[in-house]
Amino acid sequence: MTFSIRSFLLLTAGCIFLGFGSNVAMAGKIPLTALAGTYTQTGSGSFAICTGPDFKEKDCSKFMPVTDHFFPQTIVSIGEPTVDAKGNACNTITQTISDFPVDSSPPIVQTIHAAAHIKSYDPSTGVGDSSGTTYSGGSCNGAIFNNKGATKIGTVSVHFVASDNGKRIDEIATALQDLIGGIGDFSITATDLKRP
């Protein structure tokens, strides 16, 4: 795979950055401030990378079925997202990305960061949406991203549901793209459990 595909793969974990998703919310309100804290996160899923006939990543909107290719990938990740009372979040994510079906090549193992903000949230249901940016480099300082030494690698949107008074957040990626546009189909979910 080329460097551009590797950059794309760095982005993919970004969809698993906030720790927000889909689970039945508890009865009663869960205010946004109840989501503040640090979580442990597990995520997994799959996605496709679009390439041209030369196997270099290309914009999926320009995919030509006769000459181009797509490569299915699987992703498994763990993260440590921190959310503040205003809905800002930063996540440090370590992930493995493998060909699907798996083969003799080793997986890509990497650490990335994701910075996000909750765009909408209903405390009566615990349901919300967030969006953010994924980076290679940089660092998290609590819920705030420090972009020193960071390179932007993509964007992501997430739909989430909080439960257990904000101690659990389940999420599903609703939009995911790298800077080339080389991400095709995807299906990625994650669960966050608040640390005591």
pLDDT at res. 48: 95
Bridge partners of 126?
A: none
Tens-digit pLDDT string for the chain (196 aa):
443 444 444 444 444 444 443 333 345 799 999 999 999 999 999 999 999 999 999 999 999 999 999 999 999 999 999 999 999 999 999 999 999 988 999 999 999 999 999 999 999 999 999 999 999 999 999 999 999 999 999 999 999 999 999 999 999 999 999 999 999 999 999 999 999 9
pLDDT at res. 84: 97
**What residue spans define the domains of the chain?**
3-194
Asked if residues 186 and 48 have their Cβ atoms less than 8 Å apart, the reply is yes
pLDDT at res. 102: 87
∠ CA 71-92-103, nearest 5°, is 25
pLDDT at res. 114: 97
Instruction: Please confirm whether the linkage preceding 81 is cis (ω < 30° from 0).
Output: no
How much of the chain is helix, strand and coil, in % rounded to 5?
10, 55, 30
pLDDT at res. 18: 46
Asked if residues 70 and 183 have their Cβ atoms less than 8 Å apart, the reply is no
Q: What is the DSSP string of 137-178?
A: S-EEETTEEE-TT-EEEEEEEEEEEEEGGGTEEEEEEEEEEE
71-124 per-position pLDDT tens digit: 999 999 999 999 999 999 999 999 999 999 889 999 999 999 999 999 999 999
Asked if residues 26 and 165 have their Cβ atoms less than 8 Å apart, the reply is yes
Dihedrals phi, psi of 112, to nearest 5 degrees: -135, 175
Question: Check: CATH 1.10.3470 for 3-194?
Answer: no
pLDDT at res. 9: 45
Q: pTM for the whole thing? A: 0.85
